[in-house]
Amino acid sequence: MTNEAAPHGPRTPDPGSRRVMVIGWDCASPEHVLRQWRDQLPNISRLMATGLSGPLRSTDPPITVPAWTAMMSSRNPGVLGFYGFRNRRTGTYDGKWIATAGAVKVPRAWEIASAAGKRVCVLGVPQTYPIKPVNGVCVSCFLTPSTDSAFVYPPELKEQVQRVADGYMIDIDNFRTEDKQWLLNEIYRMTDKQFAVARHFLQQERWDFFMQVTMGPDRLGHGFWKYCDPAHPKYEAGNCFETAMLDYYKHLDAQLGELVALGGDDVTVLVVSDHGGKAMRGSLNLNEWLMNEGYLVLKEPVNGVTRFTEDLVDWSRTKAWGWGGYYARVFMNVQGREPQGTIAPEDYEREREVLARRLEAIPDDQGRTMATRALRPEELYPCGDMADAPDLFVYFDDLHWRSSQDIGHGTLWSFDTEIGPDDSVHDYYGMFVMSPAPGREGQEAADLDLLDVGPTVLKLMGLPVPPKMEGTAIL
């Protein structure tokens, strides 16, 4: 790939192709943006009126990594080989690895366009660090350690990014905090700096493909859901942050309007999110349950709430253990696979089936049966290299409950997380808006899939869709 000197101003597209702008709002919920708040978001409303929109089914699991990469590569997580930010090397107890850009082995839409000679501008898209060369500009994502790192390509633009943003912000450190006013200020500060850079490159670069993702909506939802949603168990009417989420989305919508205006009339605009969000009802202490049921045995008891680490475990007497998060990952201790496996290979399927059914039967703190699903990776992914997949993915109470891996709670149910205050969980559907959409103006589609976005981008740009892409262009 080359990075030829680019004259300023818009690029004249090839006949039969369009320039494409993708604006990503991480964790934006279609219920909020496309329905509840639509009339108060004039730019989204205008794009919906002139285009096609609807909820966008996310990946399983519906989580930032791998969803953005699945969206733009049109490959499911089983093919990608990662299922979250952190992953476990199967056959080990503590072999964790982080799914950075180095883990992405398939091309994403902008990489295909770049290789075809199109100029691209990619800002803040998850899993773009460590940064890779493109035919254009790239500013890396929230996985970047700091702005001291090589976070801009080409590297000589780093100073320009820092100057335009008056100090670029990659993310908000420690966003799970009780200091809500500080957090809200930081969300706006990060958003405005990132949009300043986006406006700059829209005006200064020739581009055929432009994509920017902001993590602001995700940080906002985790920090402020309980203040804004009367259905949240912790909601208090009349609190001082009651309109914080709507106010922020109005701000985001105004920023969107500026980007669209700078894009020009020959651009197809997509506004998308990787997954949605909803109120968190609680946190199920997974390893506490596994200990109570005899699946997990410690070398010795712990004193109080303790972060679960693999060195605490008596592996010779353990059958299963779990990782926490917005979904649970359960790993089984299999003879010949794990160093001190206790489950004979011939018993594996029977043991997994029993464990899945028992996990699905765990009640909530009120004794109510939860809508829990324990899913096998081979059910979720029809093909792919699932070498590092967990034995079970568990969605507690249809994702309304997250999972905690800490131990020593003395109870199965908690209402704060082990990583700080958090009000929301992830949901299955993100949002999709595309404008223009000739012949489908103002329509809402109900069957949109996140894997369809990558092929849609390539089709719009007049590029062939690789046969291994799993989705279908939305045109």
Coil vs helix vs strand at 389: coil
Dump pLDDT digits (tens) for 64-98: 999 999 999 999 999 999 999 999 999 999 899 99
> Which H or E run contains 271?
strand 267-272
Residue range 191-211: mean pLDDT, rounded: 97
Q: Which two tokens stand for residue 255?
A: 């920023």
Q: Quick check: helix, strand or coil at residue 468?
A: coil
DSSP string, 34-77: IIITGGG-HHHHHHHHTSEEEEEE--SS-SHHHHHHHHHHT--H
Token pair 């996990």 is at which residue? 359
pLDDT at 9: 47
- pTM for the predicted model, two decimal places: 0.94
Helices (H), 316-374: 348-360
pLDDT digits (tens, 9 = 90+) for 400-429: 999 999 999 999 999 877 777 888 999 999
**421 in Cβ contact with 179 (< 8 Å):** no
**176, 241, 308, 354 from 419: Cα distances, Å:** 7, 22, 13, 30
User: For residue 12, what pLDDT band results from cuts at 50, 70 and 90?
Assistant: low
Q: Model confidence over 104-145: pLDDT tens digits?
A: 999 999 999 999 999 999 999 999 999 999 999 999 999 999
- Using the predicted structure, report yes or no on whether residue 14 has a pLDDT greater than 80: no
Calpha distance 115→313 (Å, rounded): 48
Task: Tell me how far CA of residue 319 lies from CA of 94, 141, 352, 407, in angstroms.
Answer: 16, 37, 10, 17
Per-residue model confidence (pLDDT) at position 416:
77
The reported pLDDT for the residue numbered 418 is 72
CA distance 301 to 106: 45
Cβ atoms 128, 94 nearer than 8 A:
no
> Tens digits of per-residue pLDDT, 23-52?
999 999 999 999 999 999 999 999 999 999
Q: Report the percentage of the chain scoring pLDDT > 90.
A: 90
Question: What is the predicted pLDDT for the residue at 386?
Answer: 85
Nearest to 124 by CA among 211, 13, 231, 2: 211
pLDDT surpassing 70 at residue 13 = no
Cβ burial, residue 346 (10 Å; 0-12/13-18/19+)? exposed
